[in-house]
């Protein structure tokens, strides 16, 4: 499992470049829109506006995996620490979905049958 070595600013530049936009001119504006947590550059949870931008403006493939068990706060902490690359969480009462841009992460989650907790425990 390869961890992401890019931070929020670098991913923001990548997304803007993929959308054909001037990354130097727009990075600071879009950086605030794309990310859930701005206090830690290595925390790669996307905001709703971030995932919508990637879907509509870029050709970056997205992989959505239904989470088999309810999300726990420990899952969120581990996701922030492990740094698997950008991800978006759709949290619903009965089921949740994690959307990632890393194909390797998506494959591993599918092999774990969507058991996010088990997958994260195996990485730590």
78-114: string of b/e by CB count within 10 Å (b at 16+)?
A: bbeebebbbbbbeeeeeebebbbbbeebbebbeebeb
3-state SS, residue 37: coil
Residue 100 tokens read as 């990632």
- pLDDT per residue over 36-60, tens digit each? 988 888 899 999 999 999 999 999 9
34 and 47 Cβ atoms separated by less than 8 Å: yes
pTM: 0.89
Rounded Cα distance between 46 and 37, Å, is: 8
Rounded Cα distance between 91 and 88, Å, is: 10
3-state SS, residue 87: strand
- pLDDT per residue over 4-44, tens digit each? 688 999 999 999 999 999 888 888 889 989 999 888 888 99
């Amino acid at each position: 499992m390869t961890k992401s070595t890019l931070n929020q600013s670098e991913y923001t530049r990548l997304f803007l470049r993929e959308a054909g936009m001037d990354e130097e001119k727009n990075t600071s504006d879009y950086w605030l829109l794309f990310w859930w947590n701005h206090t830690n550059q290595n925390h790669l949870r996307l905001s709703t506006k971030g995932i919508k931008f990637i879907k509509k403006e870029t050709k970056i493939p997205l992989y959505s995996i239904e989470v088999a068990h309810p999300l726990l706060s420990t899952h969120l902490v581990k996701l922030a620490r492990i740094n698997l690359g950008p991800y978006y969480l759709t949290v619903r009462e009965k089921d949740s979905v994690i959307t990632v841009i890393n194909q390797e992460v998506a494959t591993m989650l599918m092999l774990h049958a969507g058991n996010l907790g088990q997958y994260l425990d195996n990485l730590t």
